Amino acid sequence: MRYLEGFRDPEAARHLAGRIRDTTARLADQGRQARIMEVCGTHTMAIARHGLRDLLPPQVELISGPGCPVCVTDAGYVDAAIALADSGCTIATFGDLVRVPGSRSTLAEARSRGAEVEVCYSPEAALALAARRPEREVVFLAVGFETTIAPVVTLVRSAAGRGLRNLSLLTAFKTVPPALAALAEDPEVQVDAFLCPAHVTAIIGSEAYRPFVERYGIGCVVAGFEPLDILHGVDTLLGQLADRAPALANQYERVVRPGGNRKAQEVMATYLVPEDASWRGLGVIPGSGLALRPEYAAFDAARRHGRPVAAGAPDPRCRCGDVLKGKIRPRDCRLFGTACTPDRPVGPCMVSSEGSCAAELRYGA
Ligand code: SF4
């Protein structure tokens, strides 16, 4: 705990805030402002919880991007999971997905109709469930970014090793670098720099962003989750902007290596191949997903049960897409905190505590 306190020191935060004010003044002298997007749900929550926006000058805007895996899960994926549950499969899933709205309902509502939907706290729990219930087809909802893909996909190896033939994965794995490229190419998105995700980058390595920085001329800084980590990352990005020198920087060297976690990368390459993936609110992003290789088709729930994931139809009133692109703040959605709350979410950004809408409603920032 004492170690962490060093990254929450109020005096150091005030010092960094002063530096940020000075750098922002240089930007303002050039008639410029800064919109910095974080692409990580844990950053989104930390920024809101610690009130970091209040420390920044008005010319600096922190906006939340598509960094929460639950938030970017397409309605069509939820529809496919519900169809599998209604057809007699047992759905094993992390808790948040149970409440994510599909086109017409949620897995929680399917459960209330009698479908079997089990909340698991780890992939191993899904494995244990399949072993306990050999008479049932168990489908694990394999949703996530690079951070969690390796431990989830090793379920295939574990199930094969134990001779379990009743476990499969409904995959919606997504990768962050293609999403950054899509945002950079989207004329609707106004972003000057990216605060890159720490957990994801611990796996893919900070060098994974170098092609992006070189191609788009947009600065990327990898930052940790403590208040000083984030302020330091913002300060570095503002300095780059003021100097008109976008670059790649790793402010989280105590965890993130340039090459990332080779072991996890090997595991992903063994079981998965890139595919186009549909992100809620962003549409299909080429090469941004990972699908099970054809040799593991028996573990692919969509193929095994003939239930491919199709495009969904989310509630048209929900503006998660605009929130995830940083076009609006959550409170600009007219359902925010009224028709849409964490107890009755209309869109996925209100489901997870790391969702932009849930974080803004909870912390008011
Ligand atoms: S407040 Fe609710 S309905 Fe509005 S964008 Fe957020 S999740 Fe969607």
103 touches 74 (CB < 8 A): no
Which of 63, 71, 319 gets mutated to test ligand 1 (max ligand atoms within 8 A of its CB)?
A: 319
Q: What is the pLDDT of residue 356?
A: 93
Measured in Å, residue 111 CA sits from the centre of ligand 1 at 24
Percent of the chain with pLDDT over 70: 98
Q: What is the mean pLDDT of residues 107-121?
A: 96
* Domain presence at residue 65: no
Distance 261 CA to ligand 1 centre (A): 35
The protein residue with its alpha carbon nearest to ligand 1, atom 3, reads 318
Residue 336 Cα: closest atom of ligand 1: 1
Summarised one tens digit per residue, pLDDT across range 315-357 is 999 999 999 999 999 999 999 999 999 999 999 999 988 899 9
Are the beta carbons of 88 and 81 closer than 8 angstroms?
no
Q: Taking CB atoms and a 6 Å cutoff, what residues make up the pocket around ligand 1?
A: 318-320, 323, 330, 333, 335-336, 340, 345-347, 349-350, 357
Residues in the chain: 365
pLDDT above 80: residue 6: no
What is the number of the ligand 1 atom nearest to the C-alpha of 361?
1
Query: pLDDT tens-digit profile of 252-288?
Result: 999 999 999 999 999 999 999 999 999 998 999 999 9
Quick one: pLDDT at residue 234?
A: 96
Q: Is 218 exposed, middle or buried (0-12, 13-18, 19+ CB in 10 A)?
A: buried
Q: Does any domain span residue 220? A: no
pLDDT of amino acid 10:
78
Query: Could you tell which of 106, 346, 360, 362 is best to mutate to test the pocket of ligand 1, judged by most ligand atoms within 8 Å of the CB?
Result: 346
- The residues near 308 (Cβ < 8 Å, ≥ 6 apart) are 80, 302
Inside any domain, residue 357: yes
What's the 340 CA to ligand 1 centre distance in angstroms?
6
Q: What is the structure's pLDDT at 346?
A: 96
Q: To the nearest whole number, what is the mean pLDDT of the chain?
A: 94
CA of 331 to the centre of ligand 1 (A): 8
Whether pLDDT at 1 is above 50: no
Q: What is the pLDDT of residues 73-92, one digit of tens each?
A: 999 999 999 999 999 999 99
Mean pLDDT of 126-153: 96
Instruction: Classify residue 336: in a domain, yes or no.
Output: yes
Residue whose Cα lies nearest atom 1 of ligand 1: it is 336
Q: Between 227-243 and 10-29, two packed helices, what is the crossing angle to 10 degrees?
A: 20
240: number of Cβ within 10 Å: 23
Q: Are 90 and 118 in contact (CB under 8 A)?
A: yes
Q: Six-digit token pair at 237?
A: 């990005």
186 within a domain of the structure (yes/no): no
pLDDT score of 129:
97
What element of type H or E holds 21?
Answer: helix 10-29
pLDDT exceeds cutoff 90 at 106: yes
In a domain, 151, yes or no: no
**Within a domain: residue 110?**
no
Instruction: Give residue 9's pLDDT band: very low, low, confident or very high (50, 70, 90).
Output: confident
Count of domains forming the chain: 1
Q: Is residue 116 domain-resident?
A: no
124 CA distance to ligand 1 centroid (A)? 32
Q: Which ligand 1 atom minimizes the distance to the CA of 337?
A: 1
Quote the domain boundaries for residue 352: 320-363
Predicted local confidence at residue 3, as pLDDT: 56
Q: Work out which ligand 1 atom sits closest to the CA atom of 349.
A: 7
